[in-house]
Chains A and B, each alone.
Chain A
């Protein structure tokens, strides 16, 4: 399996998803060798063999890149992100070069590591998958967690879109993480529908962090509404601040927390200032580990206003932490979750209506919290892993 990140080395949902999938597969008797560009210290798990491409191919001078910033930034973001690295001569030209190097190393790994199926996650690893298949001839499963179209709000980088297409086209089976993603794949690339399988994500059933029961001084006498995710176009943080302004008209004693980092952060901070609500909006920067769970637990309500959310595991994490959610209809998770409020990301008034009523009426809040918490218990790591295992069995035959 070729991936780009693995906990604790992650900045977004892909790392969490790969962790959950490999763990679930291990429970279902599948041995996984997970290859990523860099296996940093601390990245380890008893259920999976982790390989950092850097350990194998020192000659290629692979460096530790801020991986997630790269594949999930905006097109303009790449140049800025990599300019300093380029200047120091540490790094190749750009993220494409990086992915290509990964593909070269993949050949060596495919030669060395015994395997029955090659499973790759998102476009950065697709070239590696194709290269590995050229060596071993084993079936290729391309997992798509987000299309380039999703990431860029409909302004795809043509290079990346091309790579994405190549990978999807070459694959024997494509796994989409939602009907939403499947529709996008069908819409943007001429991939035969019968080749695509939908596997919705699950979530770890239990985790010590779920039960931290964290309360902050900020909770006192105030209701907290949370945004948590990359502060980038795809996630709709700009809608979140517009909604905050409107909610404050009705519920002035509310605090809005924007948890996350990203290219739009300066813009969002500036907008909060323009709207004169800077004192009501807190920016936490990037959160990880227990802090993520603490943020959910101190919040009364989690809002996911994503413009395009291929799945949206965060909504499940929120419910696991007993925090009710309002989620964008433009998300994969809205296909499988019922006990939450669903709204079009652009419908600021409707979102305001929902938030105000949630804050105002404890009965609504309690019903959503209790039923949402109950519902999220049916999600686990086994079911998606079983479906993936069945797909492996299908392609091996």
Chain B
């Protein structure tokens, strides 16, 4: 029997406008405020507020109930701008002492794969955010989309983290169980927690699927599945938007959440935070070279960096870093960082024929090609902003842009 480790990811990107070639050099409003507001307010109403209420009640009712969150900086900013009540409710949850916050990159970026310095800066930004808002100094790190390899574990250890999270992908476990605590090959004392993707996805993806043999999954049934598990922990990691947004209220998802701690308690199962596993003796060492993630069937980074458009866009984004920072223009730096959010690259994904339905569902653009067009137009405006007055202003820079490929 193992205790359950619940971690929920909270994230919203700043979606871009359909920024076109005529906007370049004329308009630096890159983000679609209207759409971002709509999405935030919808998700706040369907998910964040009601789910936080359920958690608040669970904490009041069960002494042993514990949960961990990672909230991105871009989600935070949008709570402040569009749905301040959500922020209040998270602060209220934090004040109960039952909630642990994790660290990640402020902008939910894949900077770890592209630019180490930028990665460290975005982690620092997130550390400040969590410290200021929730008075916590996390010792647990989760990278964007659970992108992980040996190198990440090493960097996280250097930053002082004790625990790192990753996907319990079959190809790294090779028959081992995700329900033990491991240690990354490249680190001295780091602990690696792996998502139990089967049980996590039973809730996140399959909960309302009537064709799934496990349907309908009640809290009691689910507790029965967890009870026989042997090991150190059952790691249930998922998007917080699972509750009410991906699985609508009428599927019974909130009732499920509400009843789960009681049903687990009947089986003698309790909860722990990721940080509490820092002292557990690791079962084994895991050696992960190629980056893994929690996305798609491939569990790799091909959803964000799987085609030429995605690679070109990322390459050009990070190539601009030096000039953008040198401009000392706070708005420009802020906008540039928001463009590093992984979602923008996800929208450019062309893997439509296999598991593309998920991509399609989340894509605000009609096609991955149009996502690329808007993104590159914006990058070109940024080029004008950093280099515009170098020679004879915008016209010259635009010409330079046109003459290079």
Q: What is A's interface to B at a CB cutoff of 8 Å?
A: 250-251, 338-339, 341-342, 349-350, 352-354, 356-357, 360-364, 366-368, 371
7 contacts between A and B (CB under 8 A): A250-B402, A353-B373, A354-B373, A356-B21, A361-B309, A361-B405, A363-B312
Shortest CB distance B261–A (Å): 45
Q: Are B367 and A349 in contact (CB under 8 A)?
A: no
B22 within 8 Å of A (CB atoms): yes
Instruction: Render B369-399 as a binary contact track against A, CB cut-off 8 A, 1 for contact.
Output: 1101100110000000000000000000000
Q: Are B373 and A251 in contact (CB under 8 A)?
A: no
B307 within 8 Å of A (CB atoms): yes
Shortest CB distance A379–B (Å): 15
Q: Across chains A and B, which 3 residue pairs bring their CB atoms closest together, nearest first?
A: A363-B308, A353-B20, A363-B312
Q: What is B's interface to A at a CB cutoff of 8 Å?
A: 20-22, 307-309, 311-312, 350, 352, 366-370, 372-373, 376-377, 402, 405
Shortest CB distance B343–A (Å): 19
Q: Are B350 and A357 in contact (CB under 8 A)?
A: no
* Cβ-closest chain B residue relative to A356: B21
Q: Are B376 and A338 in contact (CB under 8 A)?
A: no
Q: Are B377 and A357 in contact (CB under 8 A)?
A: yes
Tell me, in angstroms, the Cα distance from A356 to B372 when the chains sit together: 13
Which residues of B have CB within 8 Å of A341? 367, 369-370
Shortest CB distance A366–B (Å): 6
B22, B369, B376, B405: the one contacting A367 at CB < 8 Å is B369
A349, A360, A368: the one contacting B22 at CB < 8 Å is A349
Given known A362-B405, A371-B350, contact A357–B373 (CB-CB < 8 A): yes
A349, A350, A353, A367: the one contacting B307 at CB < 8 Å is A367
Shortest CB distance A356–B (Å): 5
Tell me, in angstroms, the Cα distance from A371 to B22 when the chains sit together: 27
Q: Are A342 and B366 in contact (CB under 8 A)?
A: yes
Q: Are A251 and B367 in contact (CB under 8 A)?
A: no
**Majority SS at the chain B contact face:** helix
Shortest CB distance B306–A (Å): 11
Tell me, in angstroms, the Cα distance from A360 to B403 when the chains sit together: 9
B20, B22, B367: the one contacting A338 at CB < 8 Å is B367
Using a Cβ cutoff of 8 Å, how many contacts connect chains A and B?
Answer: 60
Tell me, in angstroms, the Cα distance from A294 to B121 when the chains sit together: 53
Given known A338-B367, A367-B369, A368-B369, contact A361–B377 (CB-CB < 8 A): no
Tell me, in angstroms, the Cα distance from A361 to B367 when the chains sit together: 16
Shortest CB distance B304–A (Å): 15
Q: Are B312 and A361 in contact (CB under 8 A)?
A: yes
Shortest CB distance B290–A (Å): 23
* Cβ-closest chain A residue relative to B310: A363
Which residues of B have CB within 8 Å of A363? 307-309, 311-312, 372
Tell me, in angstroms, the Cα distance from A360 to B316 when the chains sit together: 14
Q: Are B312 and A353 in contact (CB under 8 A)?
A: no
Q: Are A364 and B311 in contact (CB under 8 A)?
A: no
* Cβ-closest chain A residue relative to B356: A338
Q: Are A357 and B367 in contact (CB under 8 A)?
A: no
Q: Are A367 and B308 in contact (CB under 8 A)?
A: yes
A352, A356, A360, A366: the one contacting B405 at CB < 8 Å is A360
Tell me, in angstroms, the Cα distance from A353 to B21 when the chains sit together: 5
Which residues of A have CB within 8 Å of B307? 363, 367
Tell me, in angstroms, the Cα distance from A63 to B132 when the chains sit together: 88
B20, B22, B366, B376: the one contacting A361 at CB < 8 Å is B376
Which residues of A have CB within 8 Å of B405? 360-362
Which residues of B have CB within 8 Å of A338? 352, 367
Q: Are B367 and A342 in contact (CB under 8 A)?
A: yes
* Cβ-closest chain A residue relative to B20: A353
Which residues of B have CB within 8 Å of A368? 369
Most buried by A among B307, B309, B312, B373: B373
* Cβ-closest chain A residue relative to B372: A364
Q: Are A357 and B21 in contact (CB under 8 A)?
A: yes
Shortest CB distance A329–B (Å): 9
Tell me, in angstroms, the Cα distance from A356 to B22 when the chains sit together: 10
Q: Are B377 and A366 in contact (CB under 8 A)?
A: no
Shortest CB distance B382–A (Å): 16
Which residues of A have CB within 8 Å of B309? 361, 363-364, 367
* Cβ-closest chain B residue relative to A365: B308
Q: Are B20 and A349 in contact (CB under 8 A)?
A: yes
Tell me, in angstroms, the Cα distance from A354 to B373 when the chains sit together: 7
Shortest CB distance A348–B (Å): 11
Which residues of A have CB within 8 Å of B311? 363
Tell me, in angstroms, the Cα distance from A147 to B98 when the chains sit together: 67
Shortest CB distance A135–B (Å): 49
* Cβ-closest chain A residue relative to B373: A357
* Cβ-closest chain A residue relative to B311: A363
Which residues of A have CB within 8 Å of B370? 341, 354
Which residues of B have CB within 8 Å of A339? 350
Tell me, in angstroms, the Cα distance from A356 to B376 when the chains sit together: 11
Tell me, in angstroms, the Cα distance from A356 to B369 when the chains sit together: 13
Shortest CB distance B372–A (Å): 6
Tell me, in angstroms, the Cα distance from A366 to B307 when the chains sit together: 10
Tell me, in angstroms, the Cα distance from A363 to B376 when the chains sit together: 11
